[in-house]
Each structure stands twice: as structure tokens, then as C-alpha cells.
Structure 1
Amino acid sequence: MINFRYHVVSLISVFLALALGIIVGTTQLNGAVLSDLRSQVHGLKNDKQGLEAANRQLTGQLASSDQFASSIAPAVVAGRLTNTKVLVVVAPGASSGVVGGVSKLLHGAGAVVTGTVDLTSDYLDPRRSADLKDFATSGVVPAGFNLPATADSGALAGSLLADVLTTKQGEPDPTQTERQQVLAGFASLSVLRLASRKLDPANFVVVVSTGAATGSNPAQQVHMVVALSSALRTRGLGVVVTGTADSAGPDGVIGAVRSDDHLAGTLSTVDDANTVAGQLSTVLAVSEEKGGKLGHYGTTKSADSPVPSLGQ
């Protein structure tokens, strides 16, 4: 006779059988899964080691390239810019190593570096646009000079700075007093820093840019540097914008220059200035500008060639 005890024993037997089946099945499945995971981990480990080896090799090649460029750079640039007046303008965040390397080679080429102008982050800040516009239109424009007919603070500030920082043969220059007044005014706004306000005007300018712009309004930041670079070229004889590969991207100053037909036809650029070879290219590009030629150099796809011609 089937009683309650029989039902209990039967149910226990069924659950034990199910549990045993689950344990056996899971063990077999886990074995396969673990084997596959071990294989994947082994593969990833090999990939990582391969990438590390490739990285070490590339780093070594880059170091060797920089050593070679450092050894030949003095001879390559010697005499190319004798007595040529060159100004260095530094964008916020630009590498001090790039600035120092370019400046050293400019001196080695015989250039007269008239000074260094360090733009601050306030110069690029959209919240300071009204201050720049108000100052530029406050009557400080040197006698005989005119600002562009625009409300664009970048164009206005850039034009005023270009009037006092650059020069062309045969064109009038501001007086030293007018030049100092303008530079002191910009400095009082904390939008730039100067080692000295007694800067002689330069014929050529190297603008050292930073990488890709960040923050709430990267387009405005890029515009401010581009507008200044363009104004310096209009007033002077040549401008080279130099920086890193990041600056050649869509949110970088070099990228903005190269993507605009007018700007690309008036400004030279170098996108690998974080290397000695790029710093050398920057000085050679200034030499090319002196000879009436311009170009776009570096390692990114938008460059015309890796380095300028050595024929100038």
C-alpha cells in the first residue's frame, strides 16, 4: 500500500537525482568554459606582450630619431635666419619643451627673437570676449591704424596685437609709446604675459599651439588663436603655427588652419613639434616663409610632407 512515507522518499529520490544531474552537468560545462577562458586569457597575454614589445621598439626608434635630429639640427639651420626678427607666441597649455626647443633652434639659425608672448586661458575664455572687445575699441589703436569692421572679439584683439607686435618693410609702425600702451593694457586684463613690454616688432611669428581644445566651448578657443595667427600674418611677413598631432585634429588650431582653404594658403603649420625633428621643421618653415613659400608638415594625414625642403 502506497502511504505518505513512500511519497516523501520518492520525492527525495527525485530531487537527489536532479541535484546530481545538475552537479555533473555543471562540472562538465565549467570544464569547457574554463578551458575556453584560459585560452582567451593566454591569447590576450600574448597580445599584450607583443604590443609592449612593439611600443618599446617604436620608443627606441623615436629616441634614435630625436638623437639624430639633435645632432644635425645646428648645422641644418645655421645661417638660415640671420638677423631675421622672429616673435614667439605661446598658446595656453603649450609644452615648455617645445617652446624652448624651437627658440633654441631659432637662435641657432641666426634669428633675432624679439620676445615671447604667453597667452593665458583668459584670452581664450568666451566670458572675457566683452573685455577684449571693449579694450580694443577704447581708443588705444595706434594712430594711422584701423580695426576690422566686426564685432568679433578674436578678430579685434588679434588685429590690435598684430599692429604692435609685427611689421612689414615700407609700412608705418606704431611708436614705442603706443606699442607699450597696448601691451600694458592687454597685460592688465590678464590675457597675456610678457617678459618685457619693450618688444621690437617682428617680421615673422611662430605660434606654439597646444593639443585638442577642451572645455565647454572648444571651437571658440581654437578661433581665438586662429584669428590672432591670421592677423599676425596680415600685418607681418609670415606665420608658422606649430604643435602636436592632437592639434591637427578637428578640435585643434592646426586642424582648423588646414581645413580652411584661405588659412591653409596663408599660414604654414607643423604637427610634430613635440619631437626635435618637428622643432627643426618649424625653423625650416620660417626660412621657407622668408623665401615666399609655405607648407604643412608633420606626421598626420593632413600634412603635405614630413619636413620642409632643405633648398631654401
Structure 2
Amino acid sequence: MIDFRYHIVSIVAIFFALGAGVVLGAGPLKGTGSDLVQAQANKDRATVEDQREQLLQTKALDKYRDDYIAKVTSNLTTGKLIGKRIVVVTMPNADSDMTDAIQAAIEKAGGQVTTKVSLDSKLFDPGQRQLVEPLVNDLVTSDLQFPTESNTYQRAGMILARGVAAKEEAKTVDTEAVKIINGLSSAKLVSLKPTPKDRGSLIVVVAAKPPTPAPDNSSYNEAVDFAEGLDTASAGVVVAGMPESAQNGGFLKALRSNADATKALSTVDVANLPSGQMTVVFALAEQAGGKAGQYGGIDAKNGVAPSADQVKGN
């Protein structure tokens, strides 16, 4: 962006200089116009160079911060998720690098990621509701009871959770779970990699960066309901995203505006940073203890991360 602006300034300066030469070249102000244009071009060039230097310094400081966290504080999460099986669920268009970094943080903390479930955008397409609703009813299992006031997408979340997760550890992928996984996959609503052998107890939902232009927050109502369903049929859910997802037009913003959802689900809005990935680990440990919180840097009502006491012993 800086280089582009620099070239634009230079090109404009050339045309001004040419124009000034034609108008003033033979007059009493000969040389004055081109000198002024050149002086302005030099000033703009110096401004661009200053901005370039500031950007380089900012990037260097960001790298220092991230490296410091990675090398000095990352051991704080060691052992926090030992014995825990975790399912990673990615929203449509979720950032793959952020997802991989979250998985790495989970594994460093001793957790095991059993599978990654990618949600297709068709799942939340209003035009596909007639596909989702009967499928949910067809895939329901005898050991899964829907709350009386639950809606289609809360039930869909519970169905997926029954297939890949459980409220307790050490639950295998049984015949009912296989039926659910195959049913949702065949309908092209989800895809799994790898096919799990064990069901997890905790779930991380990775939010996507909002599209441009940003949609209305209400467009995430079904996704929030779905996440609530995942939580109902598992031991806990953490929804993780980047700062943009906690602003208007983002999934975390919509979720945090739902009082019922925030009572049960945890959120982290800086999961694109090493510190945020550590916070995801702490939030998972907190969820395993039956607690929830909203963490990060954008209107996060519970601060940057759970306190040591909140995750002690998990």
C-alpha cells in the first residue's frame, strides 16, 4: 500500500511539473512551478518513508511480542488439557492458519484433537432449512432428548455433538455416531478429517472473519443456536475468532449479544495471536470445570483470560 502511494505521488508530481513548465516556462515565474512541485514531491516522499519505517517498527514489535509469549509464557498451559479429547469445528471460511495454531496449542497443553469438522455454508443457508429440519429428525438417537423449547438449529448442533462428542471422556464412536456422521456428510452439510475413533468431550468452534460488506448481526442467529446445541450435548464449547469477529457483522459479536448463549459458551476474540491461542486452552479448561467466560480485547466482559484460580486443578 505504501509503495503504491509512493508511485502515485511521483506520477502526479511529474504531470504537475510538465503542466507547470508549459504554463510558466516562458514567463516571469519560470522555474517556480516546477520547484514547488518538486518540493512537494520530496515532502511526500519523506512522509512515505517515515510511514514505511513506522510500519517496520510495528511489525518488529509485534513479532517480539508473539515470540516472547511463545518462548516465555507458553509453558503456562502445559498439562492443562491432559486426558481431554477435543473436537475442532470450523465455521464456513474459517482461517486455516488460525485453526492449525489453535490445534497446536491444544496439543501442547496435552489435549488430543480427535477430528476437525468443517461446516458447509449450506448448513446455515435459509433456503436449506427444509433439508436440515427433516434430517435432524431422522438422525436423532434414543439417548438424545431435545429440550422442549429447542429450535431446529439447536437440535442440529446437538445431533452433530452426539456424533463426535459426549459429556464424558472415553466415549467411542458407536453405531449411532456413525449414522449421524454419515448422514450429515452425505447431505454435504459437514466434512470430517480424520474420521474419529473416539468422541471428544470439549469442542472448539473456529469463527470466520466477517465478509465485506459486514452482514447484520442477526444473520448469525442460526449459527449461535447451533453452537448452543453443541454445548448442550457436550462437556463444553469455546468459540474462537479474530478481533474482527467480535465487532459488528461478526459471529462472536452476535453470540455475545445473546444472554443465554454467554451463560454456557466461552468466547475468545484474539485467537489469531499466540496469547489468544493460550487463552483458548485456558477457556477449555474452564469449560471442563463447568464455567464460562468471554475473553479477549474487543468488548470482552471477563477480561483477557480466565484467572489462574478459575482453571486451577483442571
- Residues 133 and 151, structure 1, Cα contact 8 Å, conserved in 2: no
How many positions carry a matched residue from both structures?
A: 286
Cα distance change, pair 107–174 in 1 and its aligned pair in 2 (3 A): closer
**Cα displacement (A) at 1:243:** 0.8
Paired residues of 2:86 and 2:112 also in contact (CA < 8 A): yes
Which amino acid in 2 is paired with 1:125?
A: D
Displacement of 1:142 in angstroms is 0.4
Q: One-letter code of the match for 2:163? A: V
Residue of structure 1 in register with 2:237 after alignment: 239
Q: Using the alignment, how far apart are the partners of 1:216 and 1:120 within structure 2? A: 19
1:178 maps to: 176
Deviation at 1:141, TM superposition (A): 0.6
Match of 2:280 in 1: 282
**What is aligned with 1:76?**
76
Cα distance in structure 2, aligned partners of 1:154 and 1:42 = 60
What do residues 192-220 of structure 1 show as CA deviations (whole Å, max 9, x unaligned)? 11124445332211111111145796656
Larger Rg: 1
Structure 1 unaligned segments of length 5 or more: list them: 1-22
Whether the 8 Å CA contact 1:226–1:257 is kept in 2: the answer is yes
Q: Once structures 1 and 2 are overlaid, which stretch shifts more, 112-121 or 299-308?
A: 299-308
After TM superposition, the structure 1 stretch with the greater mean CA deviation from structure 2, 176-185 or 153-162, is 153-162
- The question of whether the paired residues in 1 share the 8 Å contact of 2:173 and 2:199 is answered with no
Could you tell which deviates more after superposition, 181-190 or 151-160?
151-160
Secondary structure, aligned partner of 1:87? strand
Asked whether the 8 Å contact 1:79–1:109 carries over to 2, the reply is yes
- How far residue 179 of structure 1 moved from its aligned partner, in angstroms, is 0.9
Please give the alpha-carbon distance, in whole angstroms, between the structure 1 residues aligned to 2:158 and 2:268: 23
Distance 2:299 2:48 in 1: 27
Summarize the Cα distance change of 1:194–1:36 in structure 2 as closer, same or farther, 3 Å threshold: same
Q: Which amino acid aligns with 1:236?
A: S
Distance 1:159 1:28 in 2: 83
Correspondence for 1:98: 98
TM-score of the two chains, using structure 1 as the length reference = 0.78
Give the superposition deviation at 1:43: 5.9
Contact 2:164–2:173 (CA<8 Å) still a contact in 1?
Answer: no
Contact 1:213 1:219 in 2 (8 A): no
Q: Tell me: CA distance 1:127–1:174, structure 2 relative to 1, closer, same or farther (3 Å).
A: farther
Cα pair distance change 1:265/1:218, threshold 3 Å: same
User: Aligned runs of 1:208-247 on 2, under 5 Å?
Assistant: 208-213=206-211, 219=217, 222-247=220-245
Partner of 1:304: 302
Partner of 2:257: 259
5+ residue gaps, structure 2: 1-22
Contact kept in structure 2, 1:124 and 1:220, CA below 8 Å = no
CA distance in 2, matches of 1:194, 1:202: 14
For residue 133 of structure 1, what is the aligned residue in structure 2?
A: 133
1:216 and 1:155, CA in 2 relative to 1: closer, same or farther beyond 3 A? farther
TM-score normalised per structure 2: 0.78
In 2 relative to 1, CA 68–310 (structure 1 residues): closer, same or farther, beyond 3 Å?
Answer: farther
Q: How many percent of aligned residue pairs carry the same amino acid?
A: 25
